[in-house]
Structure 1
Amino acid sequence: MTFSPKIELHLHLEGAAPPAFIRGLAREKDIDLSGIFRTDGSYDTGDFKRFLDVYEAAASVLTTPEDYARLTVAVLEDLSARGVIYAEVFTAPQIAAKNDLPLWRDHVAAMTEAADTVPGIELRQIATCVRHFGPEGARGAARCAAETTGGQVTGFGMGGDERVLSPEDFTWAFDCAREAGLGLTSHAGEFGGPESVRDTLDHLKVARIGHGVRAIEDLALVDRLAEDGIVLEVNPGSNVALGVYAKIDAHPIERLRNRGVKVTVSTDDPPFFHTDMDAEYEALHRAFGWDDDIFRQINRTAAEAAFCDADTRTTLLKALE
Structure 2
Amino acid sequence: MTSYQTVPKAELHCHIEGAATPSLVRRLAEQKGIDVSPIIDQNGKYIWSDFTTFLKAYDLASSVFKTPADYSLLTETYFRMLAAEGAIYGEVFISPDHAQAAGLSYRSYVEGLAAGIERAKADTGIEGRMIAIGVRHFGSASVERVVREVIGNPHPLVTGFGLAGDEREGHPANFAKAFRMAAEAGLGITAHAGEFGGPDSVIAALEFLRVKRIGHGVRAIEDENLVRRLADERVVLEVCPGSNMALGVYSVLRFHPVNLLRRAGVRLTLNSDDPPFFNTTLGKEYTSVAKTFGWSLEDQLDITRTAIEAAFCDDGTRQRLLVRLESAKHA
Give TM-score scaled by structure 2 length.
0.93
C-alpha separation between the residues in 2 aligned to 1:3 and 1:290? 15
Partner of 1:18: 21
Paired residue for 1:273?
A: 278
Separation in 2 of the partners of 1:187 and 1:3? 29
Residue 288 of structure 1 aligns with which residue?
293
Q: Which of 248, 263, 266 in structure 2 is aligned with 1:258? A: 263
Q: Partner letter of residue 134 of structure 1?
A: G
- CA–CA separation in structure 2 for the residues paired with 1:306 and 1:176: 20
Map 1:156-171; keep pairs closer than 5 Å.
156-171=161-176
Alignment coverage as a number of residue pairs: 320
The answer on whether the counterparts of 1:12 and 1:89 sit within 8 Å (CA) in structure 2 is yes
Report whether the alignment pairs 1:79 with 2:82.
yes
**SS of residue matched to 2:47:** coil
SS in 2 for 1:263: strand
Q: Does the aligned pair in 1 maintain the 2:95–2:132 contact within 8 Å?
A: yes
Instruction: Check the 8 A contact 1:197/1:215 in 2, yes or no.
Output: yes
Query: How far did residue 31 of structure 1 move?
Result: 1.0
Q: Distance in 1 between matches of 2:41 and 2:201?
A: 33
> Is 1:143 aligned to residue 131 of structure 2?
no
Matching residue of 1:36:
39
1 CA distance for matches of 2:190 and 2:131? 9
DSSP 3-state at the match of 2:174: helix
Q: Please report how far the alpha carbon of residue 45 of structure 1 lies from its aligned counterpart in structure 2 after TM superposition.
A: 2.0
Q: Is the 8 A contact 1:87 1:123 kept in 2?
A: yes
What is the DSSP-based 3-state SS (H/G/I as helix, E as strand, rest coil) of the residue aligned with 1:87?
Answer: strand
Secondary structure of the corresponding residue to residue 233 of structure 1: strand
CA distance in 2, matches of 1:108, 1:153: 8
Q: Distance in 2 between matches of 1:289 and 1:149?
A: 43
Q: Which moved more, 1:300-309 or 1:22-31?
A: 22-31
TM-superposed CA distance for 1:99, in Å, is 10
Q: CA deviation at 1:172?
A: 2.1
Post-superposition CA distance 1:30-70 (Å, at most 9, x none): 11122112232211122222211211121112122111111
Deviation at 1:98, TM superposition (A): 4.8
Q: Which residue does the alignment assign to 1:181?
A: 186
1:38 aligned counterpart, secondary structure: coil
Q: Distance in 2 between matches of 1:267 and 1:132?
A: 23
TM-score, with length taken from structure 1: 0.96
The answer for the alignment partner of 2:106 in structure 1 is 104
- Does 1:236 find its partner at 2:241? yes
Identity %: 49
Could you tell me whether the CA contact under 8 Å between 1:139 and 1:173 is conserved in 2? yes
The aligned residue for residue 91 of structure 1 is 94
By how many angstroms is 1:3 displaced? 3.9
Indicate the SS of the match to 1:11: coil
Alignment pair present for 1:320 and 2:300: no
2:189 counterpart letter in structure 1? L
Task: Tell me how far apart the structure 2 counterparts of residues 71 and 90 of structure 1 sit (CA, whole Å).
Answer: 13
Structure 1: where are the runs of 5+ without partners?
Answer: none
Alignment-mate amino acid for residue 252 of structure 1: P
Match of 1:68 in 2: 71
Stretches of structure 2 that go unaligned for 5 or more consecutive residues are 327-331
